[in-house]
Chains A and B, each alone.
Chain A
């Protein structure tokens, strides 16, 4: 693989201990704040020294604790985009971008500079200073500056977190465009689940310094290997589970028997389903159609402009309770179709949406 990383570093609260490889497809590193994501990037870039480990990029060993190899950051040829961009405030956009080009001849510098400016859509802004730029422009400048050294890998630390919401989707589209053209290892750190999914084809999940999941994004989301991974990827509904002799799964907290398509080698400890996957039925099912269907009562609801979050109880709730068993996420159009039906409602946990976790 082009980028091989194995890093062990002692942090105040825990040890960062991660090993993974990255190919030419973008990799999202997802994890809660303080999981060690930024430290991981900084170790790869050579800005921090791990205690032990090995980092190699295209057969170039950048760090190896056994062989005592420590290539300094300036010789790693790894482009880094910092969370707050770290643009040089006393240099213009063009001077910022050209900082890494100084070994080239003047003509080459000028040609590279205008190519980078075009690639990051910064035309006309070359002689502005960073502080007068918008957040998106600052970010593109930081990206162009990192790309200037023709890096063999690109590291982005929370590239969208400093932006206003309305700018994010625009900047995200530009990032996707850059990634598509880059075709080298690109690592992106984020704590936003959807951002991680949209920008990275591969996903590395970090929790307290450890990689708890690593793989293609679809796989990690569809079949989270553990309950922790399911939680980190935003899954809301869990029940303790036990395998029945007939192959069905007993959901202990939901007090029901479920058919689950997935089979796992170890006995399941939990069964889970994402809030988006709950299917509300508009009529009371009968016979075979009643498989995996549960009766439920609405405890409370929380609205966003287009969607509604429903908190459901599987038992007839006593007044004033806020306890719920399931959390569902539905579009308003769908909600309008069943929201007026009399309780209990009927919700189906589809066998191919349910997943099992051994721990």
Chain B
């Protein structure tokens, strides 16, 4: 059996999770401080990929990154096309995973007592040091949960990926897409095998998350009541 969908899925999910980790966390930190008038709009835009049908996300990405889209044209200048190539699977997975990372890490950061960061500042710490040494370690259980959820979401991504990356075996064919086309072609055995692989990976991830959060005693460092 050709194992390439497994490797493509893993490579895509790992890359997308890494990107979404940085972007989602940065957005959460920024949003915690941002108190401008457009807060609701910003939140809406960040969460849109979570509520829109994947086909809509995929179609919009196609418009953005296609030959005539703004990003597509820009990339074309450097002689690159993204659509229907492996990076497109990463873009699709990143966009759909982003809201989960953003929401979870923002909730975790909001749990960190503001006075702790103020104390750090009076002790001479820069904002970056206060974030790195105080906020992030205290919010870490939530941030990690967000990362795992993002990975799981990236792994399961189907609709947007199909629209922007297509189904090119050995290049853009991830596990969910392999399953879809196996069923289409009546290869029930192949479809079932990939289903089993997907279930095993997802279960491992989710139970890992469960035990890890239990062992850490989620909420050990929670805000103390005043």
A residues with CB within 8 A of B: 45-47, 72-80, 82, 84, 86, 88-90, 99-100, 103, 145-146, 148-149
Contacts and interface: CB of A to CB of B under 8 A. Distances in A.
A146 B134 CA distance: 16
B118 interface: yes
Given A82-B115, A88-B116, A73 B121 contact: yes
From B115, B124, B126, B226, name the one whose CB has the most chain A CB atoms within 10 angstroms.
B124
B118 A86 contact: yes
A162 to B, nearest CB: 10
B220 interface: yes
A280 to B, nearest CB: 44
B123 interface: yes
Contacts of B122: 45-47, 73-74, 76, 78-80, 146, 149
A149 B122 CA distance: 9
Given A84-B115, A88-B134, A99 B221 contact: no
Nearest to A73: B121
Interface string B149-180: 00000000000000000000000000000000
B137 A72 contact: no
A100 B124 contact: yes
B76 interface: no
B121 A99 contact: no
Given A74-B124, A74-B126, A86 B119 contact: yes
A90 B221 CA distance: 7
Interface residues of B, number: 20
Given A90-B137, A90-B221, A84 B121 contact: no
What DSSP secondary structure best describes chain B's contact surface?
A: helix
B101 to A, nearest CB: 22
B113 A99 contact: no
Contact of A47 (B116, B118, B220, B221): B118
B120 interface: yes
Given A72-B121, A74-B121, 19 more contacts: A46-B121, A47-B122, A73-B118, A74-B122, A74-B125, A74-B126, A76-B122, A82-B118, A84-B115, A84-B224, A88-B116, A88-B119, A88-B120, A88-B134, A90-B137, A99-B123, A100-B123, A149-B122, A149-B124
From B115, B125, B133, B138, name the one whose CB has the most chain A CB atoms within 10 angstroms.
B115
Interface string B174-207: 0000000000000000000000000000000000
B118 to A, nearest CB: 5
Nearest to A155: B122
B171 to A, nearest CB: 44
Contacts of B224: 84
Nearest to B130: A74
A85 to B, nearest CB: 9
Interface string B106-132: 000000010110111111111000000
A201 B125 CA distance: 32
